Amino acid sequence: MTNAMKEQAAAWDQADVLSRFREEFYLPAGEIYLDGNSLGLLSKRAEKSVWEALSAWRERGIDGWIEGERPWFPFAERLGAMMAPLVGADAEEVMVTGSTTVNLHQMLATFYRPQGARTHILADVLNFPSDIYAIQSQLRLHGLDPAEHLLQVKSEDGHTLDEDAIIAAMSDEVAVVVLSAVLYRSGQLLDMERITQAARERGILIGWDLCHSIGAVPHRLSEWGVDFAFWCNYKYLNSGPGSVGGLFVHKRHHGRLPGLAGWFGSNKEVQFDMDHHFTPASDAGAYQIGTPHLLSAAPVYGSLELFREAGMEQIRRKSLSLTRFLMELVETELAGMGFSIVNPRADNRRGGHVALVHEEAVRIAHALKEAGVIPDFRAPNILRLAPVALYNSYTDVWEAVQRLKRIMVEKEYERFEKKRGVVA
């Protein structure tokens, strides 16, 4: 069985239409990198884009703002237009700017307007902590107690959410809903269309965190009627540690004054008039705040070139196939070794990673790294493995599971302390 699956992996690699993109990335020598849902690898295109930005600075100085192949002044808008197809939006609805948390603050500062009984923000207990911190902060700025005005949908199993429970919590007291498209721990993909429709039917604004879905899962934000969305670009979009994030604002909200105004949210025709009267851009550009971080935005350009060439549908197809193969291997090769798959099995309910629960997960993660497999650990007991369509192969997946099997059979994990690193 093992040899047959190895041969099957090799055959799939041979037929893989995305295999040519593997050579576009700097793959760690001798390692199998399965942590692209935390930080994607550097591509040669992204690296080239950074060098081009540095060259423009060196050669043009301040004229780089308006001269050259990619002048800096409209660069964020240009990136937004390139990114729009990944989220199913019009170019003017997307902006590459800020960071995940800053963009969420901007969205809530703009759209959260507690009135009458509608004072609550609805989220969930499995959301990424930074989103919750931002929501709590915005409630306090309105003089409201988060303990009362932040509603968090519970999880029955500690890993996934019941969408019926989410919709049932959309009461007349809820002003805004903030959810993650893909849950960062378990990899559950929520039915964004259904939940968004339910919110709109109830007159509730809804925003989505796309950090663990953009670049792995196609979206149709504009068609679904999503009010706003926000995300980082350093996971599946491979744009580098701390790279500039992104946001979406549906065109029906364009013309609305941003809650946090800054000069780069100005209409570009009058931005340099230096008038103390703020004239916002007529599109998602209005939600920029400060001057773009050009050197952090530069790699986004090269990365998006790859996505434009590969196509999100093909990326999603391979991603699902890779994770499906990984789950099959876990069930056959690691049977009886204490692993439980906690991400949804159905293709339409799964993001880009597989989540394995094991009581020794932290020590297994250490052992995997020593064995040349780079996983991701989430306390207290989850191993996240993310085979990325653009640079991982089916053979990578097969070999990673063989190394994990050896670790379990020989109990190599017992040599490690049961303690995570400062950065997990």
In angstroms, rounded to a whole number, what is the distance separating the alpha carbons of residues 177 and 127? 12
Choose, from 234, 301, 325, 413, the residue flagged as catalytic. Answer: 234
Q: Is 172 a catalytic residue?
A: no
Number of Cβ atoms within 10 Å of the Cβ of 132? 18
Q: Is 234 a catalytic residue?
A: yes
110 carries a ligand binding annotation: no
Q: Are 97 and 292 in contact (CB under 8 A)?
A: yes
Q: Is 418 a catalytic residue?
A: no
Residue with tokens 């199998």: 32
Choose, from 6, 78, 90, 128, the residue flagged as catalytic. Answer: 128
128 carries a ligand binding annotation: yes
In angstroms, rounded to a whole number, what is the distance separating the alpha carbons of residues 98 and 231? 10
Q: Is 324 a catalytic residue?
A: no
234 carries a ligand binding annotation: yes
Choose, from 45, 185, 235, 378, the residue flagged as catalytic. Answer: 235
H or E stretch including 13?
helix 2-15
Q: Are 383 and 420 in contact (CB under 8 A)?
A: no
101 carries a ligand binding annotation: yes
Choose, from 124, 209, 227, 283, the residue flagged as catalytic. Answer: 209
212 carries a ligand binding annotation: yes
Q: Is 70 a catalytic residue?
A: no
Q: Tabulate helix, strand, coil % of the chain (nearest 5).
A: 45, 15, 40
227 carries a ligand binding annotation: no
Alpha helical stretches, state H, 16-128: 44-60, 75-87, 100-111
Pairing assessment for the beta strands 373-374 and 376-378 based on DSSP bridges:
unpaired
279 carries a ligand binding annotation: no
344 carries a ligand binding annotation: no
112 carries a ligand binding annotation: no
Choose, from 45, 185, 363, 384, the residue flagged as catalytic. Answer: 384
Cα 189 from chain centroid? 12
User: CA separation (Å) from 187 to 211, 346, 386?
Assistant: 11, 12, 10
Feature table: binding site for pyridoxal 5'-phosphate: 100-101, 128-131, 209, 212, 234, 263, 291
Feature table: binding site: 100-101, 128-131, 209, 212, 234, 263, 291
Catalytic residues: 128, 209, 234-235, 384
